[in-house]
A and B are shown apart, each in its own frame.
Chain A
């Protein structure tokens, strides 16, 4: 299998990017979430 340094860096980058983009896509929900979570 092609497991070199590039592959590993790319996988880390992918994971971080996916999570960041996903959370970013939910940004509009954050105020409403804080509304009910915070007293």
Chain B
């Protein structure tokens, strides 16, 4: 199906499915028109990732099955007709229109990214391959690799639906639309407390945050999780006010959320705890927990079935792992050492308090805060928000924002103490809640203090927006060059995908009987390879044990042969066991490539390191001698 038809069908299906769910829970009665639209999309987005899981056993995990699914869900959009009618009555102010122009420029940059071939490393390494493999296998693909293989895949299933309907271009558009719906959800929520223009300003601030720019039109899931987290938090706040319908809706979104990523368990637990703290009505807790369980169980049951651990590999030592996980005590130790390296600040109170400042002004490398950080908006708003909060301190109790901030604060606390990384962008699901609370409190300070307060606030926000927009413009240059110049798709991929020549070579020279083993430096090739590949990571998997300091060529050889590997693409600085295999003639060099390391696709000048990679062929008749 052409993307021209596939993308509108996907949008209609998400809106229709979500609107129907909201009608079933009866939460739609408590929502304003803009919220009904954005909440419908959010719930429908979750539904489009949730339903395919159950379509696989019925043999309906196909493009036909997904087309029928979308056609069934789409009529639900009729439920939104009254909301659309009300929205069309909105009369924008000149300031609103001015900001809309800026917004459309931001959107245009996103459109350019959607029209270009996907080049983001993580997306090409696992988000898109997981979706494509699921389509090829007719069911979610299980890969015995922690962190990026054996993980909940609800969002990747929506990618599979988009790919099945209209290929990669449709999927790119789906990324663009779902990321912008995160901003739209923030706008609709902000309208509860802010006038249209400040709410739109907040949307612009969020949508141009570096971490959002980085993750929006890529397979990165955090922007889409931010949309769900925001809806769940608002629904929880409404549940605290006594609405059972909202408690069910919050639980329903919570169920979708934990289907996206293990770490969403922390956010959902925070919401449950807040509900417990703020209300004494068991029915609300039961409604939330029941809906969360009903919609959240599939991926954990799936993981348990495949590995023996519902949160693989976190319960190592507590449950029996299945042999097909290839997990071992040594592998678990390596995984733990990797996890420890993701934390450069100790997990303590000082870190919890200082991390936002450190991440904004003096980030450690592991934060990845420069090009994929949160920008200065939060810090700019902070003192204004403190003033506004202090002024309205008597009205904090009973305010839904207090509940939402409590959820974000508890989730942040849990993340900093037991979360898997200290990368800023991994906290993106909490950013809308933080920005919303800061913006509302700042606006209250400005409203009370007049121009003396509003002037520095406006200057700070304007300069922040200018800085972030400039960053977005720089980010869009690579897409503009491709779309508006003579550059071919091949040349674009060569410029933006490190190791692209290897994929070209493999696609032309390897056959359906071959399997190319990739190391992490070439993981980005997984999606573009048209031959079978196996990504071996030193810390995340044990199918082929390539941990550093492990020197057992005989074992490595047996594992590679057992995994069906016929070729290996590896940088020329070979590990000792590979050196040994090469020296014994078991690995024969086939083709060498001179590649350029790419620290950033947007700023290629950040890295000027070249390195050589060779594709080696395994000699099937070889049997290496023991060391």
- Report A's interface with B, CB cutoff 8 A: 1-3, 7-8, 10-12, 14-15, 18-19, 21-26, 28-29, 31-33, 35-37
Contact = CB atoms under 8 A, between A and B. Distances in A.
A25 B357 CA distance: 12
B487 to A, nearest CB: 14
Interface of B: 360-363, 369-371, 375-376, 379-380, 382-384, 387, 390-391, 445, 448-450, 452-453, 456-457, 459-460, 463-464, 467, 474, 477, 600, 602-606
Given A3-B452, A18-B379, A23-B467, A29 B459 contact: no
A11 B459 CA distance: 11
A35 B467 CA distance: 18
Contacts of A14: 380, 382-383, 456
15 contacts: A1-B449, A3-B450, A7-B453, A8-B452, A10-B383, A11-B384, A14-B382, A19-B376, A19-B460, A22-B361, A23-B467, A25-B360, A25-B361, A25-B363, A32-B605
A18 B449 contact: no
Nearest to B458: A15
B425 to A, nearest CB: 16
Given A3-B452, A11-B384, A28-B370, A36 B460 contact: no
* Main SS at interface, chain A: helix
A28 B600 CA distance: 13
Contacts of B464: 19
Contacts of B361: 21-22, 24-25
Contacts, number: 87
Contacts of B453: 3, 7-8, 11
Given A1-B449, A29-B371, A18 B363 contact: no
B360 A7 contact: no
A27 B369 CA distance: 13
A29 to B, nearest CB: 6
B297 to A, nearest CB: 43
Given A18-B376, A18-B460, A22-B360, 17 more contacts: A1-B387, A1-B391, A1-B448, A7-B387, A8-B456, A11-B457, A14-B456, A15-B456, A15-B457, A15-B460, A19-B460, A21-B361, A23-B467, A25-B370, A35-B605, A36-B602, A36-B605
Given A22-B360, A25-B362, A11 B376 contact: no
Contacts of A10: 383
Contacts of A2: 387, 390
In order of increasing CB-CB distance, the 4 nearest A-B pairs are A32-B605, A32-B603, A35-B605, A15-B460
